[in-house]
Amino acid sequence: MEQNVLLSLSHISKRFKTELALKDISMTLSKGEILGFLGPSGSGKTTTIKIITGQLRQTTGEAKLLGTDSANIDASIYEKIGVVSDNSGIYEKMTVWQNLYLFARIWKVPRGRVEQVISQVGLAEHIKKPAGKLSKGQTQRLVLARAVLHKPRVLFLDEPTSGLDPSTAVAIHRMLLDLKEEGMAIFLTTHNMEEAAKLCDKVALLHEGEIVEFGPPQEICLKYNQIKKYHVLLNSDKDLVLEQNSENIGRIARWMENDQIACIHSCEPTLETVFLEVTGKDLNI
Ligand SMILES: Nc1ncnc2c1ncn2[C@@H]1O[C@H](COP(=O)(O)OP(=O)(O)OP(=O)(O)O)[C@@H](O)[C@H]1O
Ligand SMILES: [Mg+2]
């Protein structure tokens, strides 16, 4: 079990002058796992990735990536990780294929892998197009293709689907799940709770630099499902959300007996409602 842990953070904090951007962050990521770091803008997601990948030094605590202290990371680790933070590093005048082949040569990746990755991200039709002429979603897929070209053991994605249309986002989700199946560990940040609930084995809810909840999305949601609620739509078009108590159980039973219910379902909390409850804040702001 231990040997499968590829990344661990232990009591990490980060101070920027007067601002404490991260407070006592601890967590682990293992082989074949997708971990979601969820939090609103400014909560410390990118700062965390920068500390782990050795781009920024923490104020206190320890970060270990593939057995190396993040503070001592050298170039050799970049052969084993992939980082997608923005669209930089793509050469606009070079085609999709040329962009990837250039990196394939640097990483000593077999040529066949380039074609494989291009088709995995759905860019086969655009293989000869200069990268500067790709749409935003296509560019994002090219960046992702480049990050996974050398089959990294750990992949960092800072908001991989922000601003993408739903079908491109779904294609990227599918690809991430395939990579996970191959054993890659994926650390992703997102504002998108639905994305996190669908993809992630574990999520950390980040609020003002602190992890306020950590665990499998479903477990977190169930933990907040103490007051059960039901959504009832009556034939009369009356739309109600009722808490589970003896009075409401009686009302629902009577409506059922009289065949007055058009539709009824339970309202489990989502990560979004949990986040709102824990922090009093909406994630999308
Ligand atoms: N180099 C820096 N110097 C000073 N403050 C910084 C620096 N980098 C980040 N911060 C501050 O630390 C906090 C966390 O920033 P960070 O970029 O990690 O947030 P984030 O969760 O990635 O937000 P977003 O969703 O907007 O990308 C912010 O308040 C930010 O202003
Ligand atoms: Mg960020």
91 close to ligand 1 (CB < 6 Angstrom):
no
> Domain range for residue 263?
226-267
Nearest listed ligand to the Cα of residue 22: 1
Among the ranges given (76-90, 127-141, 249-263), the one the predictor scored with the smallest mean pLDDT:
76-90
39 close to ligand 1 (CB < 6 Angstrom):
yes
Residue 197 shares a structural domain with residue 253: no
CA angle, corner 195, sides to 15 and 147, nearest 5?
A: 70
pLDDT for position 283: 60
Nearest listed ligand to the Cα of residue 45: 1
What's the average model confidence in pLDDT over 13-20?
95
C-alpha 183 to ligand 1 mean position (Å)? 30
**Domain total in the chain:** 2
Neighbour tally for 85: CB within 10 Å: 18
What's the average model confidence in pLDDT over 139-153?
92
Rg (CA), the chain: 22
Instruction: Give the DSSP per-residue string, 13-50.
Output: EEEETTEEEEEEEEEEEETT-EEEEE--TTSSHHHHHH
Ligand 1: residue whose CA is nearest its atom 11 = 21
Q: Which residue has the higher pLDDT, 168 or 114?
A: 114
Q: What is the tens place of the pLDDT at every residue in 167-207?
A: 888 888 888 999 999 999 999 998 888 889 999 999 999 99
Residue 247 shares a structural domain with residue 185: no
Residue 15 shares a structural domain with residue 137: yes
CATH number of 36's domain? 3.40.50.300
Residue 164 shares a structural domain with residue 61: yes
Residue 14 shares a structural domain with residue 86: yes
Q: Which residue has the higher pLDDT, 108 or 85?
A: 108
* C-beta of residue 232 within 8 angstroms of C-beta of residue 240: yes
C-alpha 20 to ligand 2 mean position (Å)? 16
Domain assignment of residue 191, yes or no: yes
| Average confidence score pLDDT of the chain | 90
Q: What is the tens place of the pLDDT at every residue in 207-243?
A: 999 999 999 999 998 888 777 889 999 999 999 999 9
* C-beta of residue 161 within 8 angstroms of C-beta of residue 174: no
44 close to ligand 1 (CB < 6 Angstrom):
yes
CA separation for the pair 144, 175 (Å, rounded): 10
Residue 12 shares a structural domain with residue 48: yes
Tokens 């920024």 -> residue: 56
What's the average model confidence in pLDDT over 14-33?
96
Domain assignment of residue 70, yes or no: yes
Residue 96 shares a structural domain with residue 235: no
Burial classification of residue 247, based on how many CB atoms lie within 10 Å of its CB (0-12 exposed, 13-18 middle, 19 or more buried): exposed
Domain assignment of residue 278, yes or no: no
Residue 215 shares a structural domain with residue 230: no
Residue 213 shares a structural domain with residue 73: yes
